Chain A
Amino acid sequence: AQSVTQLGSHVSVSEGALVLLRCNYSSSVPPYLFWYVQYPNQGLQLLLKYTTGATLVKGINGFEAEFKKSETSFHLTKPSAHMSDAAEYFCAVSEYGNKLVFGAGTILRVKS
């Protein structure tokens, strides 16, 4: 069965600092991996996804993630945090591109 673990329910960074949100998954087949962002009182918006091909995936708003099969990880990074990045971030895994299984989410706080 698929599962996703997001390390850290809350992450706090200073404006301009590196953002690193961790995601580890388990899957019995090559996975499809996703990061979604949820701004306050809004739905989920796709940040980026990995399906096949290049393991370093670039998304919107300067975010990127790297699929590391050996580590079963798909960590999300951004070189320089902005106040507008404050939100909740969800990692999700899918087998065969069907149902999504989500992690518990990480709330990112950006300090000025």
Chain B
Amino acid sequence: DADVTQTPRNRITKTGKRIMLECSQTKGHDRMYWYRQDPGLGLRLIYYSFDVKDINKGEISDGYSVSRQAQAKFSLSLESAIPNQTALYFCATSDSTSGGKTQYFGPGTRLLVL
């Protein structure tokens, strides 16, 4: 079984709709991250959480919000989706007890906003 899972894997939505992407992990890690990947731009950090009560904005947080429901769950929401939020979204985790250096990625969610 995958250690980091993301649902849905693919999603098509319309401009203005609210959408939530979910991430769950069984690795027991305390730190979780959300990135978006765009061709030619690599991955950019949207939000990160070092524990359940600690949530921080990343490089490109505008238009997004997150919720850390439990240590194992970290959700990303687009309150009102727009076409330039079409991208591949990745969740990642890391473990602060081992220095938090290595991040482990989920399989990604491909989002298309029409």
Contacts and interface: CB of A to CB of B under 8 A. Distances in A.
Interface of A: 4, 9, 32, 34, 36, 42-46, 49, 51, 90, 94, 97-105
A90 B42 contact: yes
A63 B68 CA distance: 36
A9 B38 CA distance: 13
A79 B10 CA distance: 37
A100 B108 CA distance: 17
A30 B23 CA distance: 31
A42 B108 CA distance: 7
Contact of B101 (A32, A42, A43, A90): A32
A34 B100 CA distance: 13
Given A43-B90, A43-B105, A43-B107, A51 B42 contact: no
B40 A9 contact: yes
A54 B57 CA distance: 34
Contacts of B58: 99
Contacts of A100: 33, 43, 45, 103
B102 interface: yes
Interface string B81-114: 0000000001010000001111111111000000
Interface string B27-52: 00000010100001111110010000
Contacts of A46: 102, 104
A99 B48 contact: yes
A9 B40 CA distance: 7
Closest 3 CB pairs of A and B: A97-B101, A102-B42, A44-B105
Nearest to B91: A43
A101 B82 CA distance: 25
A43 B43 contact: no
A51 B101 contact: yes
B106 A104 contact: no
Given A49-B101, A97-B99, A99-B48, 5 more contacts: A4-B42, A51-B101, A100-B33, A100-B43, A102-B42
18 contacts: A9-B40, A34-B102, A42-B107, A43-B4, A43-B105, A44-B90, A44-B105, A45-B105, A90-B43, A94-B101, A97-B99, A97-B101, A99-B58, A100-B103, A102-B43, A102-B44, A104-B41, A105-B42
